[in-house]
Amino acid sequence: MSKDEAIAQLISVFRQYGYEGATLARLSKATGLGKASLYHYFPKGKEEMATAVLNHLSVWLEENILALLRGSGKPDERIRAMGKNVNQIYDQGEQACLLAMLSIGESHHLFHTQIQQVLNAWINALAQVLVEAGLETGEARLRAEDAILQIQGALVLARGLNDTTPFQRVLQRLPKDLLKP
Closer residue to DNA in complex, CB, 43/181: 43
Contact code string over 21-50 relative to DNA, x by CB under 7 A: -xxxxx------xxxxx-xxx-xxxxx---
Closer residue to its own copies in complex, CB, 140/170: 170
Residue 71, CA atoms < 13 Å, CB-side half-sphere: 18
Question: Are the C-beta atoms of residues 103 and 112 closer than 8 Å to each other?
Answer: yes
Check residue 55 for interaction with its own copies (CB under 8 A): no
Q: Residue count at the site for its own copies (CB under 8 A)? A: 39
Q: Which amino acid is at 43?
A: P
Among DNA, its own copies, none, what binds residue 37 when CB lies within 5 to 8 Å by partner kind? DNA
Residue 159: CB minimum distance to DNA, A: 22
Helices (H) and strands (E) in the chain, counts: 10, 0
Termini Cα distance of the chain: 50
- Rounded to whole angstroms, what are the CA distances from 94 to 81, 90, 101, 156, 169? 20, 6, 14, 10, 14
Check residue 175 for interaction with its own copies (CB under 8 A): no
Residues in contact with DNA by the rule CB under 7 A: 1, 22-26, 33-37, 39-41, 43-47
